Amino acid sequence: MNKALFGASIALAIGVGIGIGAAQFQHLLVPPATGTAGHDSADNSPRPLFYRNPMNPAITSPVPAKDEMGMDYIPVYPEKPAADRKPLFYRNPMNPAITSPVPAQDEMGMDYIPVFADEEGGNDEPTGTVKIDPVMVQNIGVRTVKVEQRDLVRSVRASGRITVDESRMSRLHPRTEGWVEKQWVSRIGNAVRKGDDLLSLYSPQLVTSQQEYLLALDNLNALADSPFEDIRRGAEEMVSSSEQRLRLLDMPPHEIAKLRQSRQVQRAVAIESPFDGVVLDIGAREGQYIKPSTEMYMLADLSKVWLLADVYEYELPWISVGDSGSMEITGLGNHSFTGTVAYIYPYAEASTRTVKVRLEFDNPQGLLKPDMFASVTIGASTRKQALVVPSNAIVRSGSREQVFVVRGEGKFEPRQVELGYSSDGWVEITSGLKAGETVVSSALFLIDSESKLREATAKMMEASKNVGASTPEEATSSDELSMGGLSMDDMSMDGMSMEGMSTDDMSMDGMSTEGMSTDDMSMEGMSTDDMSMEGMSMEPDATKDAGVMQHD
């Protein structure tokens, strides 16, 4: 009896396990049928895409949550598509680059968002047109501005260095070899006047030329009364050539006149200053032997100086010759100097990528010194009634520049433009826009990213249509899964053995057979010939409290 009872218990446990497993398997494959109207309404209700912080819409969560103040996150549901609209594809809500031709869910269980044809841009809309919900437009901080016409005025600020006016600088070299006999100006920086003696030079060649000149003068006087005109003309030409030689040797005219009157050869000839200026360098000293290659003095007239300003390439189109400039020097306080642009150099500096612009300034008081650093403001030309937009409304991709034009509420069209000059945060538009149009001036990165994604998607869809490719419209649905035709007739437990199975840890606490029916259970064909109760203990004291059957 005990042996039969144990066998029945084992069979009952196996049957219950098989029934529970089959029920779970069927529950996974076949969706449960809706029985009431209330359940049907709950199952058909849309699932939230995500949950948004009520105080900060930029913070979202894939699951219900609360903020720091205990306020529930607001669920965000997908828009209900119209009955006559068919989605082109479905897009991952967290990564728009991931799409699917059929409804799907991401790793967090969020439904893919359907994308319809009118959202990708119709036939009358340019490729890449973006449509954004007005609430989202406000949340991401989209700002717009009108395209307008205004005068573009720009003042170019640059730094530079004061230099000597090269047209007012002189380097004095001797015309012949000799020695410095006497030097009157021997300090760098000394101011000199035109005609001041700088030094005296003894040159054998100058002495010989003076003697030849005196001989020519004597010959002219001797032949002045000659009846032959050719002889008189020859004597005059000799005097003229001798005097010309002295001038070419840089003998001052007043020294030549003095020689003609005194008829005495001068041992040393004075070298004079050619203009009023300042001595910048001295290359010869008293007693020094000099040659034509020796630079005796470098003189400069500082009554007018140059400023070489470094102007950046992008500011160069604003500057032209004749523009006025105002210069200030830190060491001179608030004193300002006014000059004009005299020349724009035709090359750029390789190290700074700037172009030299030369301005001329008067320096009557000598306040401006060479090699001083100064800052200059150049009043550049004005562009009248230029079509302009803010510079932050331009999307620069490297190969092109574009703006986003507002075509309607939440709809933005990308449009390529050509740019002109820029000034004070405004950029001139030479083509691509008209006055009065509205463009986006903020949140451009998000809109540009969405536009590029839509443009790429449109090109992919167009390519698919051209090659005759069709988007898969049928997908496996869980509604089509059924247990119909599933039979357990061929299922057998032959070969199943409980050998080695231990029931030491098995407990039937809490197990109840209430509601279990054995009407359909049959033990027909079950044999207990191989069952053995050997070693099994049914002592009441051992199982009374534990409620567990134990065996060795």
Residue range 503-533, pLDDT digits in tens: 455 555 545 545 444 455 555 555 445 544 4
Q: How far apart are CA 306 and CA 301, in angstroms?
A: 12
User: By three-state DSSP, how is residue 167 classified?
Assistant: helix
Output the pLDDT for position 7.
60
Residue with tokens 């403001």: 377
The one-letter amino acid code at 37 reads A
Position 26 scores a pLDDT of 43
Is 0.85 topped by the overall pTM? no
What is the structure's pLDDT at 17? 58
Contact 305, 165 (CB under 8 A): yes
Asked if 441 and 391 touch (Cβ cutoff 8 Å), the reply is: no
Q: What is the pLDDT of residue 48?
A: 83
What are the distances in angstroms from CA 226 to CA 143, 216, 240?
Answer: 105, 15, 18
Cβ atoms of 173 and 292 closer than 8 Å: yes
One-letter amino acid at 415 equals R
Beta bridge partners of 61: 51
Which residues are 199's β-sheet partners? Answer: 183, 271
Give pLDDT, residue 397. 78
DSSP per-residue letters across 302-317: TTEEEEEEEEEGGGGG
d(CA 345, CA 340): 15
Instruction: Give residue 470's pLDDT.
Output: 44
What is the side-by-side order of every strand in the sheet holding 50-52? 60-61, 50-52, 74-76
CA distance 308 to 343: 10
Number of DSSP helices (H) and strands (E) in the chain, helices first: 8, 29
H-run or E-run covering 206: helix 204-222
User: What pLDDT score was predicted for residue 386?
Assistant: 85
Average pLDDT, the chain: 76
pLDDT of residue 219: 86
Residue type, 544: K
Looking from the CA of 103 toward its CB, the CA atoms found within 13 Å total 7
Q: 158: which 2 tokens?
A: 């640059």
Q: What is the pLDDT of residue 545?
A: 44
Rounded to whole angstroms, how far apart are CA atoms 230 and 236?
10
Residue type, 411: K
Neighbouring residues of 190: CB distance < 8 A, sequence distance ≥ 6: 278, 279
Handedness of CA 113, 119, 121, 122 (dihedral sign): positive
d(CA 416, CA 180): 75
DSSP lists the bridge partners of residue 533 as: none
3-state secondary structure of 423: strand
Per-position pLDDT tens, the chain of length 552: 455 555 656 756 665 555 555 444 444 434 444 444 444 444 566 788 888 888 777 788 889 999 888 889 888 877 665 556 678 888 887 777 788 888 998 888 888 888 776 555 455 567 777 777 777 777 778 888 999 888 887 788 999 999 999 999 999 999 999 999 999 999 999 999 998 999 999 999 999 999 999 999 888 888 877 788 888 888 888 989 999 999 998 888 888 888 888 888 988 988 999 989 999 999 999 999 999 999 999 999 999 999 999 999 888 888 889 888 999 998 887 788 999 999 999 999 988 899 999 999 999 888 999 999 999 998 766 778 888 898 888 888 777 888 889 888 788 888 889 888 777 788 889 888 888 899 988 887 778 777 777 666 666 666 655 654 444 444 344 344 444 444 445 555 555 555 555 545 555 554 554 544 445 555 555 544 554 445 444 444 444 443 434 444
486: which 2 tokens? Answer: 């599933």
Identify whether the C-beta of residue 164 lies closer than 8 Å to the C-beta of residue 275: no
With helix as H, strand as E and coil as C, how does 223-284 read?
A: CCCCCCHHHHHHHHHHHHHHHHHHHHCCCCHHHHHHHHHHCCCCCEEEEECCCCEEEEEECC
Q: Whose structure tokens read 């839509």?
A: 454
Which string of DSSP letters, residue by residue, matches 327-396? EE-GGGTT-EEEEEEEEEEEEE-TTT-EEEEEEEEE-TT----TT-EEEEEEEEEEEEEEEEEEGGG-EE
Give the chain's domains with CATH numbers. Answer: 65-116 (no CATH), 128-150+382-460 (2.40.420.20), 154-162+300-379 (2.40.30.170), 173-294 (no CATH)
